[in-house]
Amino acid sequence: MNQDKKEVRVVAAAILKGDKVLIACRSQRMKYPYQWEFPGGKVEENESDYDALAREIKEELDCGIEPSDFIGSATHHIYTIYLYLVKEFQGEPQPIEHNMLKWISIEQLLDHPLSPADRTLAKLLYNYFLENRVFF
């Protein structure tokens, strides 16, 4: 393994609307095209996870968010993705960088072709809701 590769910290949002969560379909220009993911992006140097997530969601979806609970993380190659729950947002999310957006139930999440790390995050989110008896 190449020791020169540094971990890339990425944040993602599980944005809730009632009993649904927002997922985004990756565009053909992205790695893992046409697979679904939680929206988010890379954390810049000297940026907190919350600040990075708010910036990325504004850039990708043109809406404001209030991140709350940390759900968990998943590593894929050099990327470690940290998933945060978002219960409050301002504006209606728009697919600025993605092919499309979809609101789906937590139960339907694993039925979608998710990117590899997002599949792990979806399982963590599902378990979070089971453990907290939310929506079930």
Within 8 A by CB and 6+ apart from 105, the residues are 19, 20, 21, 135
| pLDDT at residue 84 in the model | 98
pTM: 0.91
- Tokens 């997922």 sit at which residue? 23
| pLDDT at residue 135 in the model | 54
9-35 per-position pLDDT tens digit: 999 999 999 889 999 999 888 777 889
> What is the mean pLDDT of the segment spanning 108-123?
93
Q: Reduced to 3 states, what is the DSSP secondary structure of residue 39? A: coil
In a domain, 97, yes or no: yes
In a domain, 119, yes or no: yes
Say if residue 3's pLDDT is above 60: no
In a domain, 24, yes or no: yes
Structural domain count, the chain:
1
| pLDDT at residue 1 in the model | 44
Q: Reduced to 3 states, what is the DSSP secondary structure of residue 61? A: helix
In a domain, 2, yes or no: no
Looking up residue 77, the CATH number of its domain turns out to be 3.90.79.10
65-103 per-position pLDDT tens digit: 999 999 999 999 999 999 999 999 999 999 999 999 999
In a domain, 31, yes or no: yes
Q: What is the distance in angstroms between the CA of the first residue and the CA of the last residue of the chain?
A: 43
In a domain, 14, yes or no: yes
Q: Considering Cα of 110, then 50, then 39, then 76, what sign does the dihedral take?
A: negative
Query: Containing domain of residue 37, as a range?
Result: 8-131
In a domain, 1, yes or no: no
In a domain, 3, yes or no: no
